[in-house]
């Protein structure tokens, strides 16, 4: 397929105290999140000066992509747009069109299947086209999910090995350490409906494809770590964090803090948290893990460490280039789990909007 531009597509975040509440209101619009929950979360941002690290991290990744991609044979301009903060999708779509671009390939800073991590971006990008009267005049396609791509997982593997060895050097045995792979919790209903309709019944509920993809990524990481370190006794589990919805709606569990208390009760002495659901160290990582989860472990007298996210590392930047080349010149798709490579296009009904159906970009037939 021929494309004339690439769009780094992300979530966004506030860049000053005055932006925090308007940002949170945009993020949670129509979802029934109690006002007191928004105020609670706003304090997390305000504790960091009202600035989310995500935008600066995206600027670093954008710079890395612009530097590395020509060396990989990708000579396309790269733009950056956000769902919930400037640069907003509508503004960037207009800029791309005004600059002469008509076929754009979007790469999203979300590696997994879910409504909020995939379909909502496709809805938002369609709306950006509609807002600019560009439906039918500009095409935006989307890169596939990459939860099991080696470029996404290699930085995680390397840092987890370092963190495990450091904890053992401090006097713990590998069997006394639990590795927790943490990701953003989502409502059970969103988990159950994640992924293509034809595959939905093959996944355990309520986590669905969303949970299955995370478990696949975690298993890849742990198999490599066990092999590299020559051990097999490190326990691991998938945990969830950052719940933000109505307390009456069930969300995926266990919460990371509850899980830390449980392993302490079972005799574990150390916990290493791997933010496998995130590509960079934004607020959900820095506050919910580096602050709250670490505090829970500290109160219990446990060793605690947190593994880095892929960020703008060379391995991850090259992984993104691999994904782009799959679509640009038909390069072979790389995947390390039996679930992959994930389909290059989402089908109708994939990760549905459970409140109302909206038009989307980049959708294939369900047949």
Report whether 253 belongs to an annotated binding site: no
Q: What are the C-alpha distances in Å from 265 to residues 259, 260, 261, 268, 271?
A: 10, 9, 6, 7, 13
Contact 315, 87 (CB under 8 A): no
Q: 96-102 long-range contacts, Cβ below 8 Å, gap at least 24? A: 96/5, 96/7, 96/138, 97/132, 97/134, 97/137, 97/138, 99/5, 100/4, 101/4, 101/5, 101/77, 101/138, 102/4, 102/137, 102/138, 102/139
- Those residues whose C-beta lies under 8 Å from the C-beta of residue 50, and which sit 6 or more positions away, are 14, 15, 16, 17, 18, 19, 20
**Omega of the bond prior to 95 within 30 degrees of 0, cis?**
no
Report whether 284 belongs to an annotated binding site: yes
Does an H or E element contain 236, and which?
strand 235-241
What three-state secondary structure class fits 154?
A: helix
Torsion sign, CA atoms 41, 45, 46, 47: positive
Report whether 292 belongs to an annotated binding site: no
**DSSP letter string, 84-133:** SSSSBHHHHHHHHHHTT--EEEEEES--S-SIIIIIHHHHHHHHHHHHTT
Residues placed in the known binding site for Fe-coproporphyrin III: 52, 121
| Residue set of the binding site for Fe(2+) | 184, 284
Detail the residues annotated as belonging to a binding site. Answer: 52, 121, 184, 284
């Amino acid at each position: 397929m021929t494309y004339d531009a690439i769009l780094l597509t992300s979530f966004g975040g506030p860049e000053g105290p005055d932006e925090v509440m308007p940002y949170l209101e945009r993020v949670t619009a129509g979802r029934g999140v109690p006002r007191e929950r928004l105020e609670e979360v706003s304090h997390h941002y305000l504790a960091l000066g009202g600035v989310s690290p995500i935008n600066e991290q995206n600027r670093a990744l954008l710079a890395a992509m612009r530097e590395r991609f020509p060396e990989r044979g990708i000579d396309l301009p790269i733009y950056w747009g956000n769902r919930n903060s400037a640069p907003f999708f509508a503004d960037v779509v207009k800029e791309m069109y005004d600059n002469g671009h008509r076929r754009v390939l979007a790469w999203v800073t979300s590696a997994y299947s879910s409504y909020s991590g995939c379909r909502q971006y496709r809805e938002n990008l369609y709306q950006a086209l509609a807002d600019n009267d560009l439906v039918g005049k500009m095409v935006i396609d989307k890169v596939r999910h990459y939860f099991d791509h080696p470029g996404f997982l290699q930085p995680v593997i390397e840092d987890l090995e370092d963190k495990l060895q450091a904890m053992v050097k401090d006097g713990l045995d590998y069997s006394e350490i639990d590795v927790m792979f943490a990701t953003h919790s989502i409502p059970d209903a969103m988990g159950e409906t994640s992924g293509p309709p034809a595959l939905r019944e093959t996944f355990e509920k309520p986590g669905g494809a969303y949970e299955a993809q995370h478990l696949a990524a975690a298993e890849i990481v742990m198999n490599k770590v066990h092999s590299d370190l020559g051990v097999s006794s490190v326990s691991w589990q998938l945990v969830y964090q950052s719940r933000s919805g109505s307390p009456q709606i069930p969300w995926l569990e266990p919460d990371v803090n509850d899980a830390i208390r449980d392993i302490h009760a079972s005799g574990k002495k150390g916990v290493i948290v791997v933010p496998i659901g995130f590509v960079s160290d934004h607020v959900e990582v820095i506050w919910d893990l580096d602050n709250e989860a670490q505090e829970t472990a500290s109160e219990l007298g446990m060793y605690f460490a947190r593994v880095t996210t892929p960020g703008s590392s060379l391995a991850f930047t090259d992984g993104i280039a691999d994904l782009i080349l799959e679509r640009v010149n038909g390069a072979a798709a790389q995947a390390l789990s039996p679930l992959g490579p994930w389909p290059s296009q989402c089908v109708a009904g994939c990760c549905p909007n459970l409140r109302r159906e909206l038009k989307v970009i980049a959708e294939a037939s369900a047949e």
